[in-house]
Amino acid sequence: MKFRTLAGALGAAAVLCLPALNSPATAVPEVAAVATDPVVTITYPSSVPLVGGVAHLTYGDPLPVTVRVSGAAGVARGSVSLVMGAWNETGAKARPLDANGTALFSMPLLDAGGPRPLTVWFTPAPGSAYTAAEADGAPVLIARLPAQVSLAGPATLAYGESGEVTATVVPANGFTPVGTVNFHYHSQTSGPLRVSPDTGRATWQLPKALVGQREVKVNYRPDNVQNFATTDDGAWTINVVKDATTTTARAAYKLARKTLRVRARVVPAHGMPMLGSVQFIVTHKGLKPAKKRVRVSSNGVAVFTAPAPRKGTYKIVVQYVGQTRFQASAAPTFKKTV
């Protein structure tokens, strides 16, 4: 900066007066340098997206903020303080500028919300060529943290068979899952089940479902809904197939009535009440075959009484014909001699 002389300050027409002989010289006062305004630059990492002038983060994301103070007089000396929303670092927590005129702030874990304004104050060191200054950075919006929810269970179940499905909740940024999951399966729900904070898992015993493709869905509800987002995208498909059955039969001859009483029993693999019918065929050489389809009781029993007017050997065939929930099965063909 160029400073003017005292004579120049008095004007071009002023007369220069020399001091009288033997009088003491008069000292000319120094003009103090004038401080200038600095340039304060606030920088976020390149990984932080700026949308419409707003910095977007997710709860738990780190946010280092770099502040640099400089200007025409070179690198600044002094300290900077930072305020973002209700959180601030001022006074004793002010960051001194390093030799490059920069200071780094590591933001603490802040609740989701915003956008929060961010402001930096520069306090110059004594004798600095710069004035105190204030600057605003891009406001910061912190979104709730989503969680990944996966499901695992059996791919296939027989009608009446029990099975388990397990949900695993994995929040981002290394947080421990704290909350509940709710399973939905074939119009039934589990109700809220607490997720283990150690494994992130919750398991549900599946109710019995009808034959067909069945989908299990799950949603996660965090306890801290301010900072963690709910998740509804977990799904698992189970193919429920017909249950296997076993059919047995025996026959008794009734002499007084000259009949064969054939009793069949159909047993499902997983203990569900039986449905469907049993086909009986009783044959004897020289006689017309006796045939009948008999509906089974809920405990799987069906009985057929066939005429046995002649002595000899009768061949007996018993077959459970199957149903939408149960596979067909047959008893070994056997003979009865009367």
Q: What is the pLDDT of residues 273-289, one digit of tens each?
A: 999 999 999 999 989 99
Q: What pLDDT is attached to residue 171?
A: 87
Q: State the pLDDT at residue 23.
A: 47
Euclidean distance between CA atoms 130 and 153, whole angstroms = 67
- Tens-place pLDDT, residues 285-295: 989 999 999 99
- Are the C-beta atoms of residues 204 and 164 closer than 8 Å to each other? yes
Q: How far apart are the C-alpha atoms of 321 and 280, rounded to whole Å?
A: 10
Over residues 292-317, the mean pLDDT reads 96
pLDDT for residue 30 is more than 80: no
Task: Give the mean pLDDT of the chain.
Answer: 87
Question: Predicted confidence band at 19 (pLDDT cuts at 50, 70, 90)?
Answer: very low
Average pLDDT over residues 288-314: 96
Contact at 8 Å (CB) between 184 and 216? yes
Cα separation of 80 and 132, whole Å? 10
Taking the C-alpha atoms of residue 180 and residue 205, their distance in angstroms, rounded to an integer, is: 16
Considering Cα of 190, then 191, then 196, then 197, what sign does the dihedral take? positive
pLDDT of residue 34: 64
Report d(CA 114, CA 161) in Å as an integer. 51
The answer to whether 270 and 163 have CB atoms below 8 angstroms apart is no
Q: Is pLDDT above 90 for 155?
A: yes
Is residue 201 over pLDDT 60? yes
Q: For 68-110, how does the pLDDT look when each residue is reduced to its tens digit (9 = 90+)?
A: 999 988 899 999 998 887 666 544 478 899 999 999 988 888 8
Q: How far apart are alpha carbons 322 and 274 in whole angstroms?
A: 10
pLDDT category of residue 14 using cuts at 50, 70 and 90: very low
